[in-house]
Amino acid sequence: MSDPMEQFKVIFFDECTDLLTSLEEGLMQLQAGDCDEEVVHSVFRAVHSIKGGAGAFGFERLVAFAHIQETLLDDIRSGALEMDPAYMTVLLQAYDILSELVGAAQRGEEVADELGDDVAKAMKAILDQTGVPLAEKSAAATPKEPDTDSVEKNTRIFKISFKPYEELFQRANEPILLIKELETLGDLTVKLDVSDVPDIEEMEAEHAYFSWKFRLITEYDEAAIREVFEFVEDDCDLLITDLGVYLSPEAFVEDAQAGLFEDIEDEPAALKPQKTVKTVKPGEAVVSQSIRVELDKVDTLVNMVGELVITQAMLREQGGELLVEQYPNLVQGIEDLSRHIRDLQDCVMAIRAQPVKSVFSRMPRLVRELTATLGKKARLVMSGEETEVDKTVTERIGDPLMHMIRNSVDHGLEMPDVRAKAGKSEGGIINLSAFHRGGRIFIEIEDDGAGINKAVVLEKAIANGLVSPDANLSDEEINNLIFMPGFSTAKS
């Protein structure tokens, strides 16, 4: 992949996967009644980041929808709108549309013109409650071409100095996306400063050496510029200098431009690379230090380690024929090699492992939607979300788990009045758990419903020709009939 922009797109879509997961988890917390300011902010930030990246790559349809969603979340975040449980259905529907638009953009597919129109209208209707129509909000947030009749009155020149720390890159942020967003505010001139780049033998792979100088001619104020850097301001040195009103180019703009970057060394001490010590407030999340690696590279590493394990086993077998008294060092070396390769194999396999939380997090919403549709009451209790399984497993178990959870709600749990007559609480409980046992990983789904009606299952199996009418099946064999392809006791 030689095109740098294509590489940035890959990074953007990888980040979208994480952002959409964070967005869904945040929405689930909001739906559960956790309207903590940080939760609302994280939801807003996810949509804002997706919108910013999409704008950099020209995904206009995605940007347009995300803008409405972002504006609604921003009004909730700022207090202009008070969070109402009734909004959650619309916000969750908006999440679905946003996910679909991201997926279509990643695949390079066109989407139907009407996709998301109903949800967009619903969000606009909520926004209208603030008394400020979305069109006016958009006008305040959408860059305009400079008005030549009032350019000298409204347009200003800003000099911006930007030096990222290593943490900015570790959090999967990219300066190119910030530059693209900054460019939407006006006429942008960019200068890359490479004066801190050392000789190649002295370079450290994780160190950030580049910095940037920008000159921006814009009708926007400093607050709009700072909003571009809102989520990276703690991970960089940023200095924004207002150079005053923009005057006509014919007068002396060329002279001003020539002097803007004359002396790179003459910069405030705040912009010099410095060690910063950051304190983590109580309850504040610690950011994971990680890098993105293509799965193909991990698979290649796994295969190479597998070959190494085979070679090690051959050496150990042949080494067993040697006399320890004659070759003590060689035999000990083979034993040490075996131990190190086993450790290496464990570490490499752990790289592919992911917590099942990424799959489990989809289930609370499914339960809420199903109970609302069916008129039932249920609570999902999850445990063991941090249990790790191979990435391919997390990709494959999502749909089967959703189907089984759906069956628990649909077939397992009774209606509230039926449960009440049976002496149960009106709301059922579904337990979803993951755990290790005997070197294996188990995922269990359990509900406190009426259980499997064996007579109905057997009757349906006979009607479908799966078993003969005179078959003498044990309870376990009858229960296993539900796993037959296409089997269902649902009434058509």
Domain presence at residue 479: no
Assigned token pair, 279: 């304190």
- What's the pLDDT tens digit per position in 362-421? 888 889 889 988 999 999 999 998 998 888 888 889 889 998 899 899 888 999 999 999
**Strand order across the beta sheet in which 440-447 lies:** 378-383, 428-437, 440-447
235 near 174, Cβ under 8 Å?
A: no
Residues 95-116: pLDDT tens digits?
A: 999 999 999 999 988 888 888 8
132 and 33 in a common domain: yes
The answer to whether the Cα torsion of 282, 284, 290, 294 is positive or negative is positive
Residues 23 and 113 in one domain: yes
Alpha carbon distance 154, 219 (integer Å): 6
CB atoms within 10 A of CB 146: 16
Residues 172 and 261 reside in one and the same domain: yes
Same domain, 36 and 135: yes
214 versus 252: the higher-pLDDT residue is 214
Largest CA distance in the chain: 101
What percent of the chain is predicted at pLDDT more than 90?
18
In this structure, what DSSP letter does residue 225 have?
H
The tally of domains found in the chain comes to 4
Out of 141, 171, 189, pick the residue that ends a domain. 141
Query: How far is 71 from 94, CA to CA, in rounded Å?
Result: 12
Per-residue model confidence as pLDDT tens digits over 187-246: 889 888 888 888 877 777 677 888 999 999 998 888 889 888 887 888 889 999 988 887
Buried b (16+ CB within 10 A) or exposed e, 81-118: beeeeebbebbbebbebbbbbbebbbeeeebeeebbee
Domain assignment present for residue 434? The answer is yes
Kindly state whether residues 172 and 262 are assigned to the same domain. Answer: yes
Contact, 31 vs 365, CB < 8 A? Answer: yes
Residue 278 lies in a domain: no
Question: Quick one: 20 and 133 in the same domain?
Answer: yes
Query: Which of 277, 150, 168 lies closest to 219, judged by CA?
Result: 150
Question: 489, 492, 486, 334: which is closest to 410 by C-alpha?
Answer: 489
Per-residue tokens: 490: 């649902």
Residue 263 C-alpha from the chain's centroid: 41
At position 220, the amino acid (one-letter code) is Y
Q: Both 265 and 250 in a single domain?
A: yes
Provide the CATH number for the domain around residue 114. Answer: 1.20.120.160
Per the structure, the complete domain to which residue 25 belongs is given by: 4-141
Q: Do 322 and 362 have their domain in common?
A: no
